[in-house]
Amino acid sequence: MDPLRTWAVFRKEVTHIRRDPASFIQAMLIPIILLLLNGFALNFDLKHVPLAVYDREQSQVSENFIQEFKGTHYFRIRYFVRSYEKIARLINEREVKLALVIPHDFSTALKSERTAYVQAVVDGTNANTANLVIGYVQAISSAYSQKLTVERLRLKGLTRLELPIKSEARIWYNEELESRNFIVPGLIAIIMTMVGALLTALCIIREKERGSMEGLMGTPLKKSELILGKLAPYFVIGMLDMFIAMAMGQFLFGVTLRGNVLLFVGLAAIFMVVVLGQGLLISVIARSQLEAYQLAMLTTFLPAFLLSGAIFAVHRMPVALQIFSYIVPATYLVTISKGIYLKGIGLEILWPDALALVAFAAFFLLAAGRKYVKKIE
């Protein structure tokens, strides 16, 4: 491989990029826009859920129970209603997600040491949110019930009471349980996939449509020189986008990389070679820039967004999709990114994912190279 010929192809591709500033600006804006939109809009933290209360008893005992919900940051009481019709209207108008209905015999049941039932009317339009809301309601009710039980036993003369089992939760790696701490590392993989694959998918097909491919075919360029020279500028752009995403994650969202920065950058560089190989293969087999763009979106960006585990947990998907996720290269970078960002782990644990990326890179580059030779012939 002649470095001078490779450098000539590199300079030629850089000239094409300079003559198309709109595409370059778009490539620079992609990480900023994706992080701003998804970093702020994608939020799985359930806080300040709007709540309506239908207190049919209106006693001091029922008020004490309501105070348990006021004292948490999970719920925000917005309405006190006097009928089920009002509850239905508020839920239908999306004013509240939950309504608590306290029965008229609430305090009577508690004083007679019977079980007091409280109804929770939950908006089930979003199943995930509804399940979280139900869990929070049950947790608050259980804590309040436990407190009442301790008071009853104390009144009966049991001055010292030890609970049989008491759990103490210790959260590692994402202590604040903030969604952005696992969304931002996953978005880095999505951004690199989108930028690398989409830009590269247009490089060869653009040569065909402009008629300059025949000139390249008449030169003594080797296959490796042409591929390396064409991919190198987009590799630089993709890595620059990655650094922009990392900087925004650190300074805008407060997501700190806990592990080895050089290890993350090195593995991300291997992944960039993977997506560039994917884009090159798409560019070789496509017949137009529109077709190349559509293929890149369908085969790279959408699988990376939906199936890699960046946003949605892979283990919660159907088994068929879980199996399919193993052939999505972004899945491995997402694992690497979250492992290094959140846990600070190293290559001694992440080596299978790194090896998978190397295998993907070799496969796509070899496949694109062989297909490209067939196109020239």
Q: Is 169 within a domain?
A: no
Quote the CA–CA distance of 181 and 183 in Å, as a whole number: 6
In a shared domain, residues 57 and 34 = no
In a shared domain, residues 85 and 226 = no
In a shared domain, residues 246 and 291 = yes
Residue with tokens 């009853």: 152
Beta bridge partners of 102: 55
In a shared domain, residues 8 and 107 = no
Q: Is 203 within a domain?
A: yes
Give the predicted TM-score (pTM) of the model.
0.78
Q: Is 35 within a domain?
A: yes
Quote the CA–CA distance of 222 and 234 in Å, as a whole number: 20
CATH number for position 138: 3.40.1710.10
DSSP letter string, 53-73? EEESS--HHHHHHHHHHHTSS
The torsion region of residue 94 among left (phi > 0), alpha (psi -120 to 50) and beta comes to left
Task: Supply φ then ψ for residue 308, to 5 degrees.
Answer: -85, -15
Q: Is 293 within a domain?
A: yes
- Say what the pLDDT of residue 5 is: 76
Q: What angle do CA 299, 319, 123 make, to 5 degrees?
A: 95
In a shared domain, residues 31 and 67 = no
Amino acid identity, position 81? V
Helices (DSSP H) in the chain: which residue ranges?
Answer: 3-19, 21-41, 60-70, 84-92, 106-111, 127-155, 180-201, 203-210, 213-217, 223-251, 261-285, 289-296, 302-307, 319-325, 329-338, 347-376
Q: Is 337 within a domain?
A: yes
- Say what the pLDDT of residue 337 is: 93
CB 119 within 8 A of CB 100: yes
Residue with tokens 């004490």: 64
Q: Is 70 within a domain?
A: yes
* Lookup: tokens for 271: 């992944």
CB 172 within 8 A of CB 203: no
- Say what the pLDDT of residue 161 is: 59
In a shared domain, residues 20 and 83 = no
Q: What is the pLDDT of residues 8-38, one digit of tens each?
A: 878 877 887 777 777 778 778 878 888 888 7
CB 52 within 8 A of CB 99: yes
Q: Is 87 within a domain?
A: yes
Q: What is the pLDDT of residues 280-310, one digit of tens each?
A: 888 888 878 788 888 888 888 889 888 888 8
CB 106 within 8 A of CB 118: yes
Quote the CA–CA distance of 157 and 169 in Å, as a whole number: 31
3-state secondary structure of 79: strand
Nearest by Cα to 152 from 110, 117, 107:
110
In a shared domain, residues 187 and 252 = yes
Helices (DSSP H) in 202-260: which residue ranges?
Answer: 203-210, 213-217, 223-251
Amino acid identity, position 361? A
Amino acid identity, position 171? I
In a shared domain, residues 79 and 221 = no
In a shared domain, residues 341 and 254 = yes
Domain that holds residue 91: 49-155
In a shared domain, residues 38 and 53 = no
Q: Which residues of the chain have pLDDT under 50?
A: 374-377
* Lookup: tokens for 297: 């979106």
Structural domain count of the chain? 2
CB 98 within 8 A of CB 81: no
In a shared domain, residues 339 and 242 = yes
Whole-number percent of the chain with pLDDT over 70: 90
Q: First CA to last CA across the chain, in angstroms?
A: 21
- Say what the pLDDT of residue 374 is: 41
The answer for residues whose C-beta is within 8 angstroms of residue 307's C-beta and 6 or more apart is: 314, 317, 321, 324, 325, 328, 331
